[in-house]
Structure 1
Amino acid sequence: MQLVVARVGRAHGIKGEVTVEVRTDEPELRLGPGAVLLTDPASAGPLTVETGRVHSGRLLLRFAGVRDRNAAEALRNTLLIAEVDPDETPEDPDEYYDHQLMDLDVVTTEGVEVGRVTEISHLPSQDLFVVERPDGTEVMIPFVEEIVVEIDLEEQRAVIDPPPGLIDDRAEVASARDAEDGSAEDGEDTPGTGA
């Protein structure tokens, strides 16, 4: 199975290094020296990682055969693709690869069907499941342990305990005005507002 693990950014310096936008939780495994990566466009690769280092919070890579700034700049926006065994799992039992989560059936703790995971959206603050509901609409579910309480890969399902309003209209309105007994309804004067 092929997974996109990074995108090449701009050239860094004059010796062929490039910045990369990492798209994997395991850059030391997927982008370490000696790693051979396929590319998109395919004509740019395959590329073999020669060296890697972090500079000012960004990962810099140098590929075998890329020796100057012009060659490095020619790789800009190239996607780096790793060949991954589909049965491989992360070391941490509470982590998952995106391909493991795709197409999971999503159900609530009460057994109510919500839909099917069609996409994993990686945001800076958290990841989201994009879930297609049976009626074709989509709902986004934060992939946090307070909401996604179980992932069962054997049963191909994710069990969620959604807060009110996340997947339906059970949202509770918390407004002081709504909490009053409705004395302002039907055009009646409210105390303290007269002239």
Structure 2
Amino acid sequence: MKNSILTLLALAAMVACNKKENTSTADSTADSTTMNAPADSPLTLNDSATVSGTNTGSTATALNDQDKKFADAAARGGMMEVMMGDLAAKTSTNASVKALGEMMSRDHGKANEELKKWASASGYTLPTSLNTEQQKKHDELKTKKGTEFDKMYTDLMVSDHKKDIADFKKEASDGSETSLKGFASKTLPTLEHHLMESEKAKAEVK
């Protein structure tokens, strides 16, 4: 009888131990499941890593050939207008031509700065010097004096601004980069005013 009681107690102890071990194993399994939850589950450990790695790619603006061609031409043209405008303001003895030169230097200087800001924000490198043809025109203008200077300068301003207006209109309609198209549209009225004033000055010096 005594042996039977001892046997029953031993069995009861074994059952209790097995139940505790099973509970512990279940808890461990639950913890493991939580740690290894799918990445799309809410508030998993992997979420923070996913967020921190978002949008780390390059943000450089993509430009098409029209945009690049326009930006380069506008940069070089703007530099030439400033250089020739400064020359006219210093060299000419005609009040209208001097005033025209001052306006060209001032207005194109502002436009050049706007274009540089756009280029910096877009990651685009603008040319920093005139092309061969433009440099030749500038050098030739420097050799002129008096009426010859006034005639050559006003002729250049009329022809250059007609071309500029056509180029800026093309960019405003056909360009792909929004900010550059906006720059072209915004600058057009100034260029049209320059053409009008250039034609007035040209008529005066003939």
TM-score, normalising length: structure 2: 0.22
Of structures 1 and 2, the larger Rg is shown by: 2
Structure number with the higher strand fraction is 1
Structure number with the higher helix fraction is 2
